[in-house]
Amino acid sequence: MALLNFRRKEVSAPSIHGSEVEAFLQDYSIEVMPRTAEKVEDFTALLPAGTRVYIAHIEGTPIEEMVATAKGLNAAGYNVMPHFPARIIKDKATLADWIARYQGEADVKQALLLAGGLATPQGDYSDSMQLMETGLFDAAGFTRLHVAGHPEGNRDIDATGTAGVDAALRWKNDFQTRTDAKMAIATQFAFEAKPIIAWADSLAEAGITLPVHIGIAGPAKLQTLIKFAIACGVGPSLKVLQKRAMDVTKLLLPYEPTEVVTELACHKAANPDCNITNVHFFPLGGIKTNANWAIQNGGSSAVPAKPAV
């Protein structure tokens, strides 16, 4: 089907756009790890009911801790989405065991499938497409599968350019069209809105129809963000942090994602049909800090959440 080439409306984000930001933050998701989640006494005081909570599976984390975290979050009323990093999964039997544990003990029906950060696979799988091809998630009745996106490229797949990443997303988009899977792209965090928008537009132009959940780094110390950004392979938008670090008046102040979120929210308000549908927070400065920032900017249960995509 031919794509219509509509020109995007350019919107400069003024300092305050409360209603746009509030609308944009509805139905946001957030990522936790077992060791960070256990420090939160009461998630219900921080996150709206029904929030999608991703559980990051870091190499070395026992599956028992992952499942226990999923069980607790599910019991608290949240939509739990654990990571399945392909490169730390030994074989199909291990994958089947993890799926069975999540379902049987924590009633999990959603998963984020990704390659994982290891350079060398520890078992039979090297990418998320291989996990999807096993058919185990469909057989187990999983209702939603999310996949990773990289607005600034992925050095693990493409040392230069984005050809490999783009081809993988086209495959995943085709998987959605030939199966019953409900899917979306959850992206790595970035700090500059215009390149994010350009990347999302390029997906639409290529016929990739998966909704995009944009990764946003939550409030944190500048030094913490720079460390994580370098470790995670954040590209050109890292200069936003580096520029801030050169300003002595801002060096000791915590970074907040107000500017990038506001600009994305204004873009969404001006282009409501764009493929950027949700915000996904990486709480690098702490879950409570991130949740409170979201509440202060309208991301609460006070406004009905938009339909999940």
pLDDT, one tens digit per residue, over 33-62 is 999 999 999 999 999 999 999 999 999 999
CB atoms near residue 207 (< 10 Å):
12
Q: Can you give the pLDDT at residue 308?
A: 59
| Contact (Cβ atoms closer than 8 angstroms) between residue 18 and residue 296 | no
Integer CA distances (angstroms), 99 to 21, 93, 111, 165, in order: 36, 10, 9, 26
pLDDT at 13: 42
Nearest-angstrom CA–CA distance, 95 and 93 = 5
| pLDDT at position 72 | 97
Cα radius of gyration (the chain): 19
pLDDT digits (tens, 9 = 90+) for 157-184: 555 556 778 889 999 999 999 998 899 9
Poorest-confidence range of 75-89, 161-175, 202-216? 161-175
CATH number of the domain to which 67 belongs:
3.20.20.220
The answer to pTM > 0.85 is yes
Cβ–Cβ under 8 Å, residues 247 and 6: no
Of residues 58, 42, 76, 71, the one with CA closest to residue 287:
42
Contacts of 289 (CB under 8 A, 6+ apart): 218, 219, 220, 283
Confidence of residue 10 (pLDDT cuts 50, 70, 90): very low
Q: What is the mean pLDDT of the chain?
A: 87
In a domain, 74, yes or no: yes
Alpha-carbon span 15 to 69, nearest angstrom: 38
The answer as to whether 3 is a domain residue is no
Helix (H, G, I), strand (E, B) or coil at 214: strand
Residue 162 lies in a domain: yes
Domain for residue 184, yes or no?
yes
Residue 4 included in any domain:
no
The secondary structure element, H or E, covering residue 229 is: helix 222-231
Provide the residue range defining the domain that includes 248: 18-296
Query: For the purposes of burial, counting CB atoms within 10 Å of the CB of 200, is it exposed (0-12), middle (13-18) or buried (19 or more)?
Result: buried
Amino acid at 47: L
Contact criterion met (CB below 8 Å) for 183 and 144: yes
Contact 220, 254 (CB under 8 A): yes
pLDDT at 223: 79
Helix (H) or strand (E) holding 251: helix 248-251
What total of structural domains would you count in the chain?
Answer: 1
